[in-house]
A and B are shown apart, each in its own frame.
Chain A
Amino acid sequence: MGPFLVRRLLVVVPLLIGITFVSFIVISLAPGGPLDFLEGESPDLSPEVKKQLTELYGLDKPLVVQYWSWLTRLARLDFGRSFLPDGKPVLTKIGERLPVTLLLNIVEMLIILAVAVPIGVLSAVRQGSSFDKVTTMFVFIGFATPDFWLALLLMSFFGAQLGWLPISGLRSMNWEYLSFWGQQLDFISHLALPIVVATFGGLAGFSRYMRQSMLEVVRQDYVQTARAKGLSEQVVIGKHALRNALLPVVTILGLSLPGLIGGSVIIESIFAIPGMGQLMVQSIYARDYPVVMGNLVVVAVLTLFANLFADIAYGFVDPRIRLGGRRGRR
């Protein structure tokens, strides 16, 4: 396990540097530099803000120097300050938003796993049955449904027409007057619609993977052997096949995290949930560049570690991976 962990961790360092490099390229994309662009967007830009920007990014210096000074500040976890009047440090702003986004994404993943695994297994075991056909149809529709459209439809139906669920924010106006359990219930009811929307697309993808993975596993010899020695079908599928079929799904779970986090941009914006996605969009509207850049770096670093975690978990459950050196990426 040791060498395997070291190999995995060593890859992280160049990727971390790469993340800062790509993010820096993004800043330098603006024609004539971010300052000119900002001036074009808001001509009444005060000289102070301009000076602050120039200092912050060392805009009067060559690109290499700019990148290096940015990098050294990042290494000290100094992401600069927001341009907005509150002038908070970028990291504080992100820190305020991060828990909600993480909570949303973790709950989504758990729900996706809990629902998609049984669906995938059942449709693989009964390949070609009407259950399989219905779920396949659901998968295609799930892939094709724009999440923001689904969000609007659900808001309009459950929120506006039926009035069952709140459609924006995380707390009701009267939150402070509710009992402890009332507050929890209120919080959950606020999260209900966003989570349904966010899970929908992912659910389709995962049940598809699970089905596929299961179909591959049940063809293997050891499954035949298990059958041949007279084990019940339940044990063969539930124990021998399922365990092996779950392995690739662990990796895909990690790989799909960027998609889920990316999805929270739209979902948080629509449902007015104060998470990182909403912060990103608000900062872009407000041209609050330090926050935009900070957000991009933080999200990429989070994804990197989530992937790493999935990788290590995979190596942990499957000795072939950690002993085989390189993981066969299909």
Chain B
Amino acid sequence: MAQRARGEIRAFGRTFVRNRLAVGGGIVVAILVVLAVLAPLLAPWDPNKPDTRRILTPPSSSHPLGTDQIGRDVLSRVLYGARVSLAVGFVSVGIATIIGILLGAAAGYHGGLVDAVITRVVDLMLVFPRFFLLLAVLAFLKPSIWTIMVVIGLSGWMGVARLVRAEFLTLREREFVVWSESIGASAARVVFRHILPNAMAPVLVAMTLGIPAAILTESGLSFLGLGVQPPYATWGNILTDGKDALEIAWWMTLYPGLAILITVLSYNLLGEGIRDALDPRLRQARVGRILRVGR
């Protein structure tokens, strides 16, 4: 078993490395994580410190991406914004994945009434346009980075649940599962030890593609002023400031947007690469659906 697993990982590695776009995406993602973690060391200025002598200065050698309306350094703010975006992406997708796995596994393993109820709940959640639902929830809660992570996670688990349920439905009929059940393995052991590990491939892909969707959502919420609140810099709220100075300070709009674009693009390339390498049979349509629903 261990040897087979190692062989599979090696086969995965070979296919993945051949996909140059995916490798590129992975490298950019890694660089972004490093930049976000090291932001306090790398940022040339304090991201929240106003400087009234340098209001809306165009990019220069001391402020490579210019300054904003109250003289804060845009580069430092974009770097700190990366921390928020990546943290929200990771945590909210983590929450969504855990909920999705639990509900999807319950539905797929038990079938019957449990499955019927969970499937209906998934259908119900998908009827709400995600952005409207998020806005309605945020109208009643004090926005903070934690609230944002939780609500994005709570509104984004349906895709994972559907994937896991579909995997469980096919896996639970397979010989190795039936055998271990017949020799008296507990349900928990069968689910977590035998079925789940074999169902993780599409979940991994869904997670990689869910992070950029969460990042886009967070930046949209912050742009509307309903996400992470100032003075904390996020890519979305730098763009809000940029909107007010659109005609005089293009640098405030161009750079944070590019940061979002590059981040989301890299994650998507990485995710698609992982999917293709994991299992060529995993269809575009399936994971593509999640991507779409995620937005």
Question: What is the interface of chain A, defined by CB distance below 8 A to chain B?
Answer: 11, 14-15, 18-19, 22-23, 26-27, 29-31, 34, 37, 140-141, 143-149, 152-153, 155-156, 160, 201, 205, 208-209, 212-213, 248, 252, 255-259, 261-263, 265-266, 269-270, 280-281, 283-285, 287, 289, 292-293, 295-296, 299-300, 303-304, 307, 329-330
Contact = CB atoms under 8 A, between A and B. Distances in A.
Interface of B: 120-121, 123-133, 135-141, 162, 212, 216, 219-220, 223-226, 239, 242-243, 246-247, 250, 253-254, 256-257, 260-262, 264-265, 268-269, 283-286, 288-289, 291-293, 295
A255 B239 CA distance: 30
A109 to B, nearest CB: 14
Contacts of A257: 129
Given A22-B128, A259-B129, A265-B135, A146 B292 contact: no
Nearest to A256: B292
A132 to B, nearest CB: 14
Nearest to A202: B292
Contacts of A213: 285
Given A29-B140, A144-B268, A296-B136, A307 B285 contact: no
Closest 9 pairs between A and B when the two form their complex, measured CB to CB: A262-B131, A149-B257, A262-B129, A258-B129, A144-B264, A144-B265, A30-B140, A18-B124, A284-B139
Contact of A300 (B121, B127, B212): B127
Given A141-B265, A156-B253, A160-B247, A26 B132 contact: no
Contacts of A156: 246-247, 250, 253
Given A30-B141, A201-B295, A149 B253 contact: yes
A209 B288 contact: yes
Contact of B260 (A149, A160, A284): A149
B288 A205 contact: yes
28 contacts: A11-B123, A15-B123, A15-B127, A22-B128, A22-B133, A37-B140, A140-B269, A144-B212, A146-B216, A146-B257, A147-B220, A149-B239, A149-B260, A156-B247, A156-B250, A209-B288, A255-B289, A262-B129, A263-B131, A280-B132, A284-B135, A292-B136, A292-B139, A296-B136, A299-B132, A300-B127, A303-B129, A330-B285
A31 B138 CA distance: 12
Given A14-B120, A27-B140, A146-B220, 19 more contacts: A15-B127, A18-B121, A26-B137, A37-B140, A143-B264, A144-B264, A144-B265, A146-B219, A146-B223, A155-B246, A208-B284, A212-B284, A258-B130, A259-B130, A262-B130, A263-B131, A265-B224, A292-B139, A330-B286
Most buried by A among B139, B253, B269: B139
B127 A152 contact: no
Contact of B128 (A209, A266, A299): A299
Contact of A293 (B129, B136, B265): B136
B292 A255 contact: yes
A140 B261 CA distance: 10
A248 to B, nearest CB: 7
